Amino acid sequence: MAGKLYIVPTPVGNLEDMTFRAIRILKEADLILAEDTRTSGVLLKHFEITTPMRSHHKFNEHQTSAELVNLIEAGNNIALISDAGTPGISDPGFMLSRECRRAGIDVECLPGATAFVPALVSSGLPCDRFVFEGFLPVKKGRQTRLKELASDSRTTIIYESPKRLARTLRQLTEFFGAERQGAVCREISKLHETIHKGTLGELSEHFEMNQAKGEIVIIIEGYDAKQHQPENEL
């Protein structure tokens, strides 16, 4: 009888965000796939999880997915975790999930931590409709994507590294407009969690002068066509 692939979210910061179910699945699995075994080793030790672990990351997932499918078909239950958050959300996970589905293997994803949801809800910007972009292209296609997002009426969510934050905010100000509302959320659920709110122009100016650290989520207000209509059309 074939086993199952479990996709298991892990805390993005506070270890108290780990669920009882996630701990049980990781203890009962035959093998844990971790993005970085050193990082995940700290988490597993904290929760007294002794299940064998091996690396599964963006540099080897193309080569190992077929082998892992074979292991599950042979009856092994495998749990996939990333360094933080839900695998597949700007982290490895999609490819193995897809290959398991193609092979007729059950894939079960546990609900759990991810950085962008608490950032969105706490930003004070509309969260009924949104588009999650993850990390924008660094070079090719970046400006094209920014132009497309600038006219999207939904709230936009972007992940960014602290080293590129100031540059990205300058570009967002250029493409979206300096008066568009936004929020820069840093270190979600961690000890030094902070949320800076204001216009994109204000945020850009602030982070030009203040170097950010840690994991960054940028939330941007959607385009409001009514605000851009000529007066005689209102």
Residue whose pair of structure tokens reads 């990205």 in the numeric block: 168
Mean per-residue pLDDT for 63-85? 95
> H or E stretch including 46?
helix 37-46
Instruction: Judge whether 60 and 11 are in contact, CB under 8 Å.
Output: no
Which residues are within 8 A (CB) of 79 and not within 5 positions of it... i.e. 6 or more apart? Answer: 6, 7, 8, 25, 26, 29, 31, 32, 33, 51
Mean per-residue pLDDT for 60-71? 90
Q: How many CB atoms lie within 10 A of CB 97?
A: 19
Going by C-alpha positions, the residue among 120, 198, 185, 199 that lies closest to residue 154 is: 120
pTM of the model: 0.89
Instruction: Judge whether 29 and 78 are in contact, CB under 8 Å.
Output: yes
Residue 161 confidence (pLDDT): 95
Q: pLDDT at residue 234 above 90?
A: no
Q: Could you tell me what percent of the chain has a pLDDT over 70? A: 97
Going by C-alpha positions, the residue among 57, 116, 55 that lies closest to residue 85 is: 116
Q: pLDDT at residue 28 above 70?
A: yes
Residue 228 confidence (pLDDT): 59
**3-state secondary structure (DSSP) of residue 123:** helix
Q: pLDDT at residue 230 above 80?
A: no
Q: pLDDT at residue 222 above 80?
A: yes
Tens digits of per-residue pLDDT, 190-217? 988 999 999 999 999 999 999 999 999 9
Provide the sign of the torsion angle of the four alpha carbons 152, 157, 160, 165, taken in this order: positive
- pLDDT bin (cut points 50, 70, 90) of residue 231 is low
Residue 191 confidence (pLDDT): 87
| Mean of per-residue pLDDT scores for the chain | 93
- What are the helix and strand counts (H, E) for the chain? 8, 10
Instruction: Judge whether 76 and 30 are in contact, CB under 8 Å.
Output: yes
Residue 225 confidence (pLDDT): 72
Orientation angle between helical segments 200-209 and 165-176, nearest 10 degrees: 160
